Amino acid sequence: MGNDLSVFQVVLDASPVVQGVMLLLIIASISSWTIIFGKRSVIAKSRRHADQFEASFWSGGDLGTLYRGIETKGRAGTGMQSIFESGFGEFSRLRQIDRLEKSLAALATIGSTSPYVGLFGTVWGIMSAFHGLGDVREATLAAVAPGISEALVTTAMGLFAAIPAVVGYNRFADQVSRLELRFDAFMEEFSTILQRHASMRGVAG
């Protein structure tokens, strides 16, 4: 408990600049965790929808509907990408990928800049500590400790904000890439089916 109170006191006694850095890092950390939990839910939901769609499609449940929609739009033989980009069903590719990638840039920014923001607080705390020694004849640990404590706290807060953001970004970027490859593979496979279907209809006609 004493250590918690001492850290809290260091924050209260910190200079306005260092307190501003700490506040900025706290906001960055909260934003990072909010994005992480939200993105985890969105990707899990998208994966479930993909599983349900593919299971329904390959079982024949949506095949007739897709063919009718393609013939209505006059897009037979143009490839699955044009069908998805036209907003057909849950698999509208561009909108889906855009939705999945939303906020990933914010995670990357938090992960890459937070350590530097914490470093700025560290440098400022050390500068304040040495500046305070200018009017002291004999330097003691008690005179230097507050500034060094500020520096260590801002460094720790910078890492606390950056590490989850970097881990979350790498994990989600990999998952989004896998889903995108899955969409592309499905479109290629379905495009082949469409071309086969159009060829058979041409021969039959």
pLDDT tens profile 20-70: 888 999 999 999 999 999 999 888 888 887 777 777 766 765 555 555 555
8 A C-beta contact, residue 169 and residue 111: yes
d(CA 122, CA 149): 9
The Cβ of residue 104 has, within 10 Å, a number of other Cβ atoms equal to 16
Residue type, 186: F
Average pLDDT over residues 110-114: 94
For residue 96, name the pLDDT band (cuts at 50, 70, 90): confident
Report yes or no: 128 and 150 within 8 Å, Cβ to Cβ: yes
Going by pLDDT thresholds of 50, 70 and 90, the confidence category of residue 165 is very high
Among 160, 158, 112, residue whose Cα is nearest residue 18: 158
More confident residue, 165 or 95: 165
